[in-house]
Structure 1
Amino acid sequence: MAGNSQRKGAVRKTAKKGPQVGSGGQRRRGLDGKGPTPKAVERTGHPAARRSNRAPTGSSGRPQRGGSQRGGPKASTEMVAGRNSVLEALRTYVPANTLFVASRIDSDDRVREAIKLATEQEVAILEAPRTELDRLTDGSVHQGLALQVPPYDYAHPDDLLSVELPGTPLIVALDGITDPRNLGAIIRSVGAFGGHGVVVPARRSAGVTAAAWKTSAGAASRVRVAQATNLTRALEAYRKAGFFVIGLDSDGDVELPGLELADQPLVIVVGSEGKGLSRLVRETCDQIVSIPMAGITESLNAGIATAVTLYEIARQRSR
């Protein structure tokens, strides 16, 4: 009934006069600072803490030596997209984790051969919707095929000092080489002429991608590639270990046929075709060597220059 004060909730409550019950200071304490935010590796459940707990440690309690444990950028997986690219990668035995095949794909000879090669190489084959392939390949033209390539496991520059290969140590270091195909060609030449490994900077340099794997024609599985956080410091460490560091440049003090250090432990530093050697790297070299050329050609591709130099050193050592 309207106006019935006995109904629950029908009585208007009036505020009481005098002191009332407060929060007991809880609101004030809630405004107090809680101290600095703990580091990510110290927070339980944080991905960085889980990675830290999974990292292998040596007897000293520190992470074991490896390319990804020395402060360099974290490598990530690579997706090779397109029927021709995927098939070529499988033909050249580029290491892969998974072959993604679009649902209801229009099969042709390339698709059938890619699935056959993936099966023979024990690569997992997964069927995925085209929308998922679009996401995985970041919108690239995949034609219903995509191949996931795992990150390359880089060595540390010091690891190349203990490589058990016959002959006098020979290492190639790259300064500003950004084309992965050049890197692949250099890896192939190092393997062909008895080199012990390749060193690349962690930043502003080409890495061992699927393109480098394909250009190396399989040599990337036999030649170790190390990643240096600081190339200049790595070269200085090689010098302290007894290596001579020679840089390739068109205005070198010594021409390649007259190189008298060929029979010594060597680190050959190759700069980019456009900028050449950087200033600090050039100052670290014991000698600057040039390749004599006739005609109108002013410079050689970095991969070709490295191959010519490695061949000449191998020729002199064989004598």
Structure 2
Amino acid sequence: MKPISRNHQKRRFTAGSAHDPSAPVWLWGQHAVEAALANPDREILRQVATANAARRTGLKDVEIIDGKALDHLLPPGAVHQGLAVRARPLEEVSLDDVLAGPDAPTRICVLDQISDPHNLGAIFRSAAAFGIGGLVLQTRHTPPVTGVAAKSAAGAIETVAEIRVVNIARAIDQLGEAGFHTIGLAGEGRETIEAAIHGAQKVAFVMGAEGSGLRPAVAKACATLARIPMVPGMESLNVSNAAAIAFYQALQDKEGA
């Protein structure tokens, strides 16, 4: 499904952007900070809070600073709610390890070059809400999961596996070989999302980039293309909204089985 862009060109992540995947990142906002602190796999390097935020949340052993000092630590416009932590990124998870694990998920989502970190965070949040066990992201062409995405995810980046792969089409093939019904969301899909999901024991959704949708090679790798029914006059949804609907439908189908 080709989603409506949300000024994504202003925030577009480019393949040439220099980013060290092992470099520490700032996470901010109450839900994101509390989830990071509660995650035993997250290495916290620094905790900062305003006095009011520390009292409100009951967090201990934090460095108390004033709001202006906290503003200067974070990117412009960060809505931090008086809380932030500097932490090391979580260790990368491979698709092989996820599929071979003792608690291998039966619901996965593949994101084909999603470029808006707000959308990425919102998809993480919906994945956590509706039981999606992991998000497959391309190593390049997809933004790192840093503060903006973490704030939008409201803590979900700590619980939903982030799986990085080099080649999205190859990852879809691998999921198909592992028994997943791979469903690409596209406006031209002949099936509805409900019909495409129905009865499948394992489902992998494939979501296209903002504006351009699924790339042809990625669409071809999917077992089927499905659409979300909409009233006439509306041909697309924002990718994070489309993901939430698909994830909800998968949960309904699973519970109704």
TM bracket, shorter-chain basis: 0.7 to 0.9
* Corresponding residue number in structure 2 for 1:160: 98
* Corresponding residue number in structure 1 for 2:22: 75
SS at match of 2:225: strand
* Corresponding residue number in structure 1 for 2:134: 197
Q: In structure 1, which of residues 176, 188, 207 is the aligned counterpart of residue 113 of structure 2?
A: 176
Report matched runs for 1:51-62 at 5 Å.
Answer: none
- The higher relative CO (CA closer than 8 Å, separation ≥ 6) is in 2
TM norm structure 2: 0.73
Q: Distance in 2 between matches of 1:169 and 1:87?
A: 31
1:120 and 2:59 are equivalent in the alignment: yes
Larger Rg belongs to: 1
Q: Deviations over 1:268-290 (max 9, x none)?
A: 10112300011221111110111
Which of 289-298 and 87-96 deviates more? Answer: 87-96
Q: Distance in 1 between matches of 2:159 and 2:83?
A: 28
8 Å CA contact retained: 1:160, 1:196: no
Q: In structure 2, which of residues 159, 181, 189 is the aligned counterpart of residue 244 of structure 1?
A: 181
- TM-aligned CA deviation for residue 121 of structure 1: 5.5
Q: Distance in 2 between matches of 1:310 and 1:146?
A: 30
Q: Deviations over 1:146-199 (max 9, x none)?
A: 742322322111222134449x71110101111222222212222222222111
Q: Percent identity of the aligned residues?
A: 29
What RMSD in Å do the two structures reach over aligned CA positions? 3.4
Which of 275-284 and 219-228 deviates more? Answer: 219-228
How many residues align structurally? Answer: 227
Q: Distance in 1 between matches of 2:23 and 2:151?
A: 18
1:97 and 2:97 are equivalent in the alignment: no
Q: Deviations over 1:24-73 (max 9, x none)?
A: xxxxxxxxxxxxxxxxxxxxxxxxxxxxxxxxxxxxxxxxxxxxxxxx96
8 Å CA contact retained: 1:79, 1:148: yes
Does the C-alpha gap of structure 1 residues 114 and 264 become closer, same or farther in structure 2, counting only changes over 3 Å?
same
- TM-aligned CA deviation for residue 126 of structure 1: 8.7
1:300 and 2:241 are equivalent in the alignment: no
Q: Deviations over 1:180-223 (max 9, x none)?
A: 22222212222222222111111111332122222222222222
Unpaired runs of at least 5, structure 2: 1-18, 38-43
Equivalent position amino acid for 1:223 in 2: V
8 Å CA contact retained: 2:51, 2:64: no
TM norm structure 1: 0.60
Q: Distance in 2 between matches of 1:316 and 1:121?
A: 43
